[in-house]
Amino acid sequence: MENQQVTGRKLKLFKAIAIVLPLIILVVAELLLRLFDYGHDTRLFIKYPDDQNYWVINKYASAPYFSDTANATKGSIEPFRVEKSANTFRIFVLGESTTAGYPYFHNGSFHRWLQYRLMHTYPDIHFEIVNVSLTAVNSYTVLDFGKEVVNYKPDAVLVYTGHNEYYGALGVGSTSHIANNRFLIEAVLYLRKFRLVQLYDNIINKFRSNKSGAIDERENLMKRMAASQQIPYNSAAYLTGIDQYQKNMDELCRVMQEKHIPMFLSTLVSNEKDIKPFISDTNKSISADEQYNSGNTSYKAGKYTLAKQQFDKARELDMLRFRAPDAMNQIVIQLAKKYSDVHLVDAKTVFEQHSPNQILGNETILEHVHPNLYGYALLSDAFYQAIKKEHIIKAEVDKEMSFNELLDQMPITKLDSLNGAYTIMMLETGWPFNKPIPASFKRGDTPEEQLAGALSTNRISWLDAMNQLFQYGIKSNNKKMALKAVEAVMLEYPQNTTYQVYAGRLSFDTGNYANAVFYLKKLYDANPSFENAEDMYLVLLKTDQPDKSIKYIQAAIQIQGNKQQLNGLLSLVNEVIDLKNKMIIAPNNKDLMGQIALDYHKIGADEAANKYEK
């Protein structure tokens, strides 16, 4: 009996060991792989290698979503502080290629238009607008990234996504498709964070590439990601894409609601009028091509309401689903009603209001879904107006930048515009557009055209292109060109204060005095040094703002000590202020004006003196 008990205990022990030992082996193997730095950390943010005081997006954050990591896309380097300062308003932007700003990226993206407008409208607030959007992803990636950004103290989250639901990573029609079951997809995504699973994936991909040939990276990413190129309207795959979008976006909204984070969710825009359906089902009684052709006929006849309906139907019936169905816009509208912290950004209505006969076409959109520069400006305005409406920025408006002022002042260069045009032209030579480059096309020889050609073919970086454009502007005495280039780079690298110095001085040289004061004040606020105080009081005096200059003259005296020259300057400035007060009573007194002009000349503010001499 005792032997039987011993045997039973041994059997239980062996079973326990049989269960536990493989787990121990897996844990040890995982730890060894991490110890030898195999595989990747897939967290969304890592410390910025160039400055440990900042976070940046991890270039491997997208890897779990792609079955073949050769297709995995990477985000932009947009550092934000580890320690969020008291006067910082932090916004995260989530989405796909449109949200990332394709094909312009950098300052072409709507979030940069928004940043430029906000920082000029609220100059005393430091805005951190961090774009973590990626090309070729869909709502699965957006949801997971959203779950992570809530831990980094956002004041708002902006979301524009939906066009990649079928062919983006994990989409039902994509080469990275796993399954239609959400639990299974989430389980695979979780497991892909482990180094053992990454090792397994790499072995499988290596075996697959040896067997069937490596991915041909000469093919555009659209073609490489599209596996099922025909998804009929109302088919099982079509409905799966809509269901997946609805559930992922609902969960994202719920996460934001629970954290009480304002989320701004946008409707989607796509080209209706000037993009022919990619794949039309000729076996159906009503095909995409027939609807599109009818739309063109109605449009030419001036029947715009009917034409819009027909163009919309053509998009819905297009079996190559690179344009989101209207059902996704309806989901966005309903989610904004369901959750109090989710606010609707109706970009589609904004685009319609700025399109001929309210039908979206090439006036705002480059090809099928990506806006042109004017379109990105409109998208930024849609988000700006929604943010403004909710009063989430607790600050007084200094001087609101209007949309027209934004269009005029935004540091978008001709180089950026040409680069986008060249990039789209090359994209459209491939599938599914298959449009040859026009025989009449000839790239010009201007510096912008040469640099844009090199940039669009990856022979030069954007920063190098901007630096060369700046140098050309200085050499040719085209200070407006130089200013645009400096402002553009400054938005890309806000931590580098050198660009603010150039922006302030060039703004003054080009007569944009408000801009000069804006940039030099930003510089002073960040570093109240003697040099920055001197720049501030000089620009304020030159722009006839003596009362505002006093603060900076006094700061300079405090830093430098009671130097005779600065005290003399302070006396002259106080005299100018007194004379200007007297002019309120006697506005046409030429003696007062002459004395003000004389004092300004003594100060060295000849620009202000000229105003009174005239």
Taken in order 117, 119, 124, 127, the sign of the CA dihedral is: positive
Beta strands in 116-235 (DSSP E): 126-131, 156-160
Taken in order 117, 121, 124, 129, the sign of the CA dihedral is: negative
Cα 192 to Cα 184: distance, rounded to the nearest angstrom: 12
Residue 310 CA, distance from chain mean position: 33
pLDDT band at residue 477, thresholds of 50, 70 and 90? Answer: very high
Q: Which two tokens stand for residue 609?
A: 């003196």
Q: Which two tokens stand for residue 298?
A: 């109605």
Cα 323 to Cα 327: distance, rounded to the nearest angstrom: 11
Mean pLDDT to the nearest integer, 380-401: 94
- Give the residue extent of every domain in the chain: 1-33, 86-180+220-271+322-409, 280-317
Q: Which residue has the higher pLDDT, 71 or 101?
A: 101
Q: What percent of the chain has pLDDT over 90?
A: 73
Cα 114 to Cα 483: distance, rounded to the nearest angstrom: 19
Instruction: Tell me the sheet residues that pair with 54.
Output: 81
Cβ(137)–Cβ(169) below 8 Å: yes
Predicted pLDDT at 335: 98
- pLDDT tens digit sequence for 244-276: 999 999 999 999 999 999 999 999 999 999 999
Predicted pLDDT at 576: 94
Predicted pLDDT at 210: 58
Cα 196 to Cα 34: distance, rounded to the nearest angstrom: 9
Nearest to 91 by CA among 497, 382, 392: 392
H and E: helices and strands count for the chain: 25, 8
- pLDDT tens digit sequence for 153-164: 999 999 999 999
Query: To 10 degrees, what angle do helices 414-427 and 447-456 make?
Result: 40
Average pLDDT, the chain: 91
CB-CB neighbours of 21 under 10 Å: 10
Query: Which of the residue ranges 204-213, 388-397, 462-471 would you say has the lowest mean pLDDT?
Result: 204-213
**Can you list the alpha helix ranges (DSSP code H) found in 156-216?**
182-191, 195-212
Q: Is the pLDDT of residue 58 over 80?
A: yes
Cα 42 to Cα 518: distance, rounded to the nearest angstrom: 39
Hey, is 392 helix, strand or coil? coil
Cβ(556)–Cβ(570) below 8 Å: no
pLDDT band at residue 217, thresholds of 50, 70 and 90? Answer: very low
Q: What percent of the chain has pLDDT over 70?
A: 95
Mean pLDDT to the nearest integer, 300-316: 97
Predicted pLDDT at 348: 98
Q: Is the pLDDT of residue 444 over 70?
A: yes
Predicted pLDDT at 230: 92
Predicted pLDDT at 209: 60
Cβ(257)–Cβ(339) below 8 Å: yes
DSSP 468-536: HHHHHHHHTT-HHHHHHHHHHHHHH-TT-THHHHHHHHHHHHTT-HHHHHHHHHHHHHH---HHHHHHH
Q: Which two tokens stand for residue 175?
A: 């080469």
Query: Which of the residue ranges 200-214, 384-398, 404-418 would you say has the lowest mean pLDDT?
Result: 200-214
Hey, is 226 helix, strand or coil? strand
pLDDT band at residue 218, thresholds of 50, 70 and 90? Answer: very low
Predicted pLDDT at 216: 46
Q: Is the pLDDT of residue 1 over 60?
A: no
Predicted pLDDT at 26: 66
Helix (H) or strand (E) holding 464: helix 462-475
Cα 114 to Cα 565: distance, rounded to the nearest angstrom: 43
- pLDDT tens digit sequence for 452-470: 999 999 999 999 999 999 9
Mean pLDDT to the nearest integer, 323-345: 98
Predicted pLDDT at 546: 96
Mean pLDDT to the nearest integer, 106-111: 95
Q: Which CATH superfamily is domain 86-180+220-271+322-409 in?
A: SGNH hydrolase (3.40.50.1110)
Predicted pLDDT at 30: 65
Q: Which two tokens stand for residue 418?
A: 């040409």
Mean pLDDT to the nearest integer, 382-389: 98
Q: Phi and psi (nearest 5°) for 156? A: -165, 155
Provide the edge-to-edge strand list for the sheet that holds 342-345.
126-131, 88-95, 156-160, 263-266, 342-345
- pTM for this prediction: 0.91
pLDDT band at residue 122, thresholds of 50, 70 and 90? Answer: very high
Cα 51 to Cα 507: distance, rounded to the nearest angstrom: 29
Q: Is the pLDDT of residue 198 over 50?
A: yes
- pLDDT tens digit sequence for 174-189: 988 888 888 889 898 8
Terminal alpha carbon distance of the chain: 119
Helix (H) or strand (E) holding 56: strand 51-57
Predicted pLDDT at 364: 98
Query: Which of the residue ranges 209-218, 246-255, 410-419 would you say has the lowest mean pLDDT?
Result: 209-218
CB-count burial class (<10 Å; 0-12, 13-18, 19+) for 16? exposed
- pLDDT tens digit sequence for 539-557: 999 999 999 999 999 999 9
